[in-house]
Every structure is written in C-alpha cells, then in structure tokens.
Structure 1
C-alpha cells in the first residue's frame, strides 16, 4: 500500500536549491574552517562553534539555526545568511504490507543548482528489536548486474557525503528518532520500547559504494561518531560488488562491516551476473577478503548470494561456494530473487534454497535465508530504481548558458 505524507509530522517538501552551501556532511574540522572562512568565528572560537553545530545537527536533528539556543542570536543570523541545513525533499513515501517503508528522495546538484534534481530510493526495514536503513550512494549505477533493477538505470552522478547523510537524517526525522520526535501512526512498523527506530545502516541501496569512496567514507564516519548520531560501526555494513582496490581501505579507514555481492562460484557465470568480475575476478576478490583489516570470527564478512532458479542454485555450486570461502570467517546470506519488470530470471524454489542452505550449514557456515521484505512496493533487494536520467552534454551546456 502507499501512504500520503503526514505533513504535520515532517518538514515535508523542501524549497528549491540555494546558492548557500550546506553544512550537512562536513567533518568537525571542515565545519570550523567554514566558519572561519565566512568570518563567523575566529580561529580561537571556531572549534567550540563547530562542536555546538555538530550537536544540533546530529544529536538533536535541528534544521533551523534559530533553534540553536546556546548560540548567540547575532551568530545564528550570520549562520542563516551564509549556510543552509539541507535535507532531501520527500517525493513519495510507501509502506509495505509487511511494515517496510520506502522513500523516494529528491536532491538538487549542489555544484550545479540549475540542473534538474535527481532522485534516489531509501528503504527502512523494521523488526521487533532493530530497524535497518538501506542507504543509496549513487543515482543509478555503472555495474549492470543482470539480476538487479538498479543496474538498468545508467549512472547519473555520485551522491555527496551530505546527501548520503541526508537520507539518514530525513529517515530519523520521519521515524521520530530525534529528541522530541514521535513515531509515525500510519501503520508502518518500528521497533518496540525505547529502541532507536534506526539501529543499523546498510550501504546496499542504489549504486556501488566503493565507486564513491570518499563521500561514503565521510558520511559513515560522521554517522558513527560517538558525539553525534553514534551508530556503532558493528551495526554499519558496506556492500560492494567487488571493487578490489578499495576493500582494504574500507576496513582500515572506515572500519565497518563488509558484505560482498558474490552470487556465483565461477568466473564465467559471475562475468554475466556481476560484470565487474571481468575487471577483478573471483581470485583477486577473495584474496582481498582474506586480507580485510580486523577480519575474525567476531567480525565476519557477509557474502550475499541471490538464488536464481536453474542458474546458480545447484548442490555442486553450494559445495563449490564452501570450497571458495575456506579460511575466510564468513556468513552467507541466501537471497531469494526478487522479480522486477523485464527481469529474465526466476526465484529458486523454497525446497532448492533449503537444500543449498543445508549443504553450506553442514560445512560450518551460517547461511540464513533472507526473508523478502517490501516486495509489494518494489523495496526488496535488487528492486530499487529512480527515474533520474543522465543529462546530455547539450542539455548541460544549455542549463549553464553556454
């Protein structure tokens, strides 16, 4: 089912893009530098002002400088005149019959405010004891994985760190996760009790996170900062299709959990399902996984394996999967294929998935079968796509007045 926006609960539709820069997505040192560059704070007080802003932005979820009551009124006015606290516009919000929630968020290009806005999808998956937010890193995707709906949309552009964080901030606002907020009463689920609505983040939305490494890194470091949103790094998972050069830096610099979109046990099939395999084949990918910083039984890599009927779901492939992962602390998520319009694959029967899981389990690997969530609103794994399109050079030049 789809639900209409509850405008009393949300800041709702955002105004058109501003020429003023946004402070969302800046690190603390960058906040301090922005304040001194703008003449709002001296070098001596910039660090203190940056800490004040940080608390208002990421602990309190404030979107209005005037509400920053421990900041002097003249300073608040200067901040308002110079910067914005930008969040995405909500184009649509849908709630599935199983409680999953999907937003279509709209952003304007901060570097090119005359360009048409772009849109991404973000999904919230609630359970009794936790809530997981599936976040996008790009508008579209370059990878063209043959089983994935997002892969049919050409890459439009990378999201900025502020836009990645904006998805988290907007979702927290809608779900009443900031002080003084209230849970939505539209029938969607949220964890019970005093648990945060959003306890986990997975970078498994639209795009390949490691093809937008610097922005993803900055966003996740801000989201996990102990004096801000304070999301545990053990509750943040970054999923990659196998951009090998950035796997080691992900563990060393971001220090989050790693997931690999594997989906095949030989290079010939993976070349078809996940074409990036032609650049970094299984041997290189698995070697990078074995060397992932901090890898241990307490910090396993998750290997994602979509179950495609008659394609990759045989007993022989289950045994080969076990052989490939030997020596890697891992768990294997088996994902029933989620159909989308125009897809050429079918979902493996439940009996086949259970047999595959049994072989992997008996070899000592946890192999949970992911319960499809949000299929009725196309919010399930592999179903995300927006209508944003890449501009031609002619269109870009026209908008720029060339």
Structure 2
C-alpha cells in the first residue's frame, strides 16, 4: 500500500482536489505528517472521519520499521529498516560541529558494482519510493525530537545510486526541503552520483539549490574502469564535460568524493593526476578513510598517508578535506549491517 510520504506538498493538494475535497485538506494532511509527525491516520483529529476512513483504505503513513539500531561511542547511529515488502535498507545519523546529518539509502541493493563497496554485496532489488526515503529521515527525526534536536543536513549517499532513481530522489528532496515539510535548506541537501552523465545534465537543468557530489575515487580511466564499472559507460572526459555544464548553469561548488585505498589510488602520482583532472572547476575533494569490507580485501590508508595525499593536493592548488571517521566500532560501511541481517535471515 502506498505511503502518504510519497506525496510532496503540491501533489497532496492536487490529490485532495482530485477526490473532490478542498485543497486545504491536502495542506492539513501534510501538516499532520511533518509538523506533528503522526504515526497513524487516526491521529489526524481535525479531518473528518469519512476522509480518514478513505485514507486508511488506500494509504499507510510510515513504510519503514526499525529492526536494528547500532550506536557508536562517537554518537554515530546506524538504523536498519524493514520496508513493507520485507526488504531491508540502512540510514546513518552522523554528528558534526555544524549539526546532525542523515545519510539516506535510495535503492534496495545496488547494481553499480563498485569493486570496493559494501553496498554492492547485495544486488539491486528495486528503487526506493520517495516516501521510503522520507521515512528514513523522519524516523531519525523522531528520535531527535526526544531531545528537542533536529536533522539539519541530509546526504543521499547510502546504498544505491541516487541518479539511477532520479525522479524519486528529486521528489524526496522536494519534500524534506519544503518549509512545511522538514524545512531542511536546499544547501544542506547533498545528492551523490558515481557518474550517470544524462542524469547529471538533467540535474544541471533543474537548477536546484541542492549540492552535487561525485563519487570519483580514481583520477584516470584505467584505474577507474577497474574500481567503478560505470566509467566504461561514461569515461572521465565525458563526465567532466557534464560537470562543466552543471557548474556553468548553477554556479555551485562541486564535491569530489575520493576514498583512499591503500596501495591502489593513494600515491603521489594519483594526487597529481587528480589535481590535473579537476583544476579550474569550482570544487573541492573530500578524502575519505575507507571502511574496510572483508569480502573485498581493500585496506584503508593510515592518517599519515592521508595527510601526505592531502598536502600534495593543497600544494597543487586543490582544496581538500579529510572526512572525519564515523562509527568505527559499528557496521559503519554502507550495506554492512543489511548484508549481515540478510545472511542471518537466510540461515
């Protein structure tokens, strides 16, 4: 059954009109969902019983049930959700100086096949609806409500390739960004892609305030072909042309995500190639310590090696950061907790 979270504000108003209700009825439902954060349609007390009965026959509220929650010593919290069809997805709450950030999954499994990634251990079963993504954020927000805190940032960087589920991801962002939704600022919403060029161009034309992050992880085609099969469809030259279109149309700074893999992409020559590749683009590089996944055999660099790579980029005039590690004492890598639970269920 469809979730009411699947409707953005304009869609729920239009749905109300389509049923012969007043447009304001859609506004009321949206308020109950996001301002009062009800868990059932029966709680919508200022809506007529007839209307509530109709909604109950056709919709549910929350399509996600928390089946596991791991809390790290640093406050990072990993959520494992079960969806109405039994599928499992993960989200992560991360705590920064600037606020609370939730990392959201966009698909059940992933077909991109990145060689180092835990998300791809289980292949894609289906896309998530926008409501299933909204429910991930709202579930975390309801936990934070207990301490009068709030989700301030959202990144779509969990399991799945967001631009392989473009329409639902954009609808999700529209809902959490809306003033009457969760009111998360557009500049506090980041969508990541491994490089699906046609959707990057569509995103460029959409001219939103959302941030765009590119999962790069290699500075040349030979290495990127090995690590990320998407590069065979959209090699670096094609990807960089699309990103130039994006920056020209949007005047927004890009983020390049670069996971440092020991002995693979972490040498001085890789830093030099990376600097040459992105020079002239309004962007910075987010260097990420690798969360090791037993099934893949890749290893993370130590802090000293990461600093050497960082220093080389900075000397070449490329702005960079080293991402703070989160949840080192829990199943921190995308897909790890889900894969563990799936194995348990298969006996």
TM-score clears 0.5: yes
User: 2:77 aligned to 98, 101, 109, which one?
Assistant: 101
Say if 2:35 is the partner of 1:59: yes
User: 2:70 touches 2:77 (CA, 8 Å); kept in 1?
Assistant: yes
Instruction: State the match for 1:226 in structure 2.
Output: 179
User: 2:320 aligned to 367, 382, 395, which one?
Assistant: 367
SS in 2 for 1:104: strand
Instruction: Give per-residue Cα distances to partners, 1:220-244, cap 9 Å, x unaligned.
Output: 1111112221111100001110011
**Alpha-carbon spacing, 1:81–1:158, altered in 2? closer, same or farther (3 Å):** closer
User: 2:68 touches 2:79 (CA, 8 Å); kept in 1?
Assistant: yes
- For residues 388 and 26 of structure 1, what CA distance do their matches in structure 2 show? 30
- For residues 160 and 218 of structure 2, what CA distance do their matches in structure 1 show? 20
Instruction: State the match for 1:275 in structure 2.
Output: 229
**Alpha-carbon spacing, 1:388–1:249, altered in 2? closer, same or farther (3 Å):** farther
**Alpha-carbon spacing, 1:314–1:384, altered in 2? closer, same or farther (3 Å):** farther
User: 2:286 touches 2:321 (CA, 8 Å); kept in 1?
Assistant: yes
User: 2:80 touches 2:337 (CA, 8 Å); kept in 1?
Assistant: no
User: 1:146 touches 1:272 (CA, 8 Å); kept in 2?
Assistant: yes
SS in 1 for 2:178: coil
Deviation at 1:132, TM superposition (A): 0.6
Deviation at 1:31, TM superposition (A): 2.0
What are the residue-to-residue correspondences of 1:362-401 with 2, within 5 Å? 362-380=315-333, 383=336, 385-386=338-339, 387=341
Say if 2:118 is the partner of 1:149: yes
User: 2:121 touches 2:335 (CA, 8 Å); kept in 1?
Assistant: no
SS in 1 for 2:237: helix
Say if 2:213 is the partner of 1:259: yes
User: Quick check: 98-107 or 341-350, which moved more?
Assistant: 341-350
Say if 2:98 is the partner of 1:132: no
- For residues 78 and 194 of structure 2, what CA distance do their matches in structure 1 show? 23
- For residues 53 and 331 of structure 2, what CA distance do their matches in structure 1 show? 43
Higher strand fraction (1 or 2): 2
Instruction: State the match for 1:395 in structure 2.
Output: none
Alignment gaps of 5+ in structure 2: none
- For residues 217 and 273 of structure 2, what CA distance do their matches in structure 1 show? 12
SS in 2 for 1:348: coil
Alignment gaps of 5+ in structure 1: 1-18, 110-116, 177-181, 184-193, 390-402
Deviation at 1:327, TM superposition (A): 1.3
Deviation at 1:73, TM superposition (A): 4.1
Deviation at 1:384, TM superposition (A): 5.9
Higher helix fraction (1 or 2): 2
Instruction: Give per-residue Cα distances to partners, 1:60-118, cap 9 Å, x unaligned.
Output: 21222333233234433443344321230111011011110001001124xxxxxxx10
Normalised TM-score (structure 2): 0.92
User: 2:204 touches 2:245 (CA, 8 Å); kept in 1?
Assistant: no
SS in 2 for 1:102: strand
- For residues 330 and 186 of structure 2, what CA distance do their matches in structure 1 show? 29
- For residues 219 and 97 of structure 2, what CA distance do their matches in structure 1 show? 34
What are the residue-to-residue correspondences of 1:22-171 with 2, within 5 Å? 22-37=3-18, 39=19, 41-42=20-21, 45=22, 47-109=23-85, 117-171=86-140
**RMSD, matched Cα:** 2.0
User: 1:206 touches 1:384 (CA, 8 Å); kept in 2?
Assistant: no
**Alpha-carbon spacing, 1:152–1:83, altered in 2? closer, same or farther (3 Å):** closer
Instruction: Give per-residue Cα distances to partners, 1:264-284, cap 9 Å, x unaligned.
Output: 111010001111100000001
Larger radius of gyration: 1
Say if 2:238 is the partner of 1:284: yes
Deviation at 1:150, TM superposition (A): 1.0
User: 1:318 aligned to 266, 271, 290, which one?
Assistant: 271
**Alpha-carbon spacing, 1:123–1:337, altered in 2? closer, same or farther (3 Å):** same
**Alpha-carbon spacing, 1:300–1:62, altered in 2? closer, same or farther (3 Å):** same
Instruction: Give per-residue Cα distances to partners, 1:365-394, cap 9 Å, x unaligned.
Output: 3211112111221124675643559xxxxx
